[in-house]
Amino acid sequence: MGDRSRVVIAQDGKLALIKRIRNGTTYYVFPGGGIEPGETAEVAAMREAHEELGVNVRLGRLVATDRFNDVTVYFYTAQITGGKFGTGCGPEFQPGRGRGIYEPVWIELEALAGVDLRPRQVSKAILAALTAGEI
């Protein structure tokens, strides 16, 4: 698995996330995925937002990075500039992939304390920055 790129989209007191149900476990992740050969982390973040959420985005700044099993994951703030939320049609939505369910959702910022948002350490830092108005 190569490096990955994700977007942090906060708007109207809500955060855009992907609800995952896999092997009987429900959790949430920031939208994003793998960086393809020849792609920058920024281009991958924009492509993945379109594939997973159905929206076009303008990236802001890099707000976090994470390292896991020799994979670097980049987290960028983003603003929706077009498209329709919830219309993503990337490969993760294709039936028969055996990777569980992917569902684009908006979660109220106040409700985030009660959800399993992964990766946990990075999510805590990003949520703290959101709450403090730094993002």
Model confidence pLDDT, tens digit, residues 53-82: 999 999 999 999 999 899 999 999 999 999
Q: How confident is the model at residue 90 (pLDDT cuts 50, 70, 90)?
A: confident
The CA-atom distances, in angstroms, between 56 and each of 3, 77, 91, 115 are 21, 13, 17, 26
> What one-character-per-residue DSSP string does 69-134 give?
TTEEEEEEEEEEEEE-TT----GGGSTT-SS-EEEEEEEEGGGGGGS-EESHHHHHHHHHHHHTT-
Which of 47-51, 86-90, 110-114, 119-123 tops mean pLDDT?
A: 47-51
Amino acid (1-letter code) at residue 125 = A
Q: Which domains does the chain have, with CATH numbers?
A: 4-131 (3.90.79.10)
Amino acid (1-letter code) at residue 30 = F
Model confidence pLDDT, tens digit, residues 3-39: 999 999 999 999 999 999 988 999 999 999 999 999 9
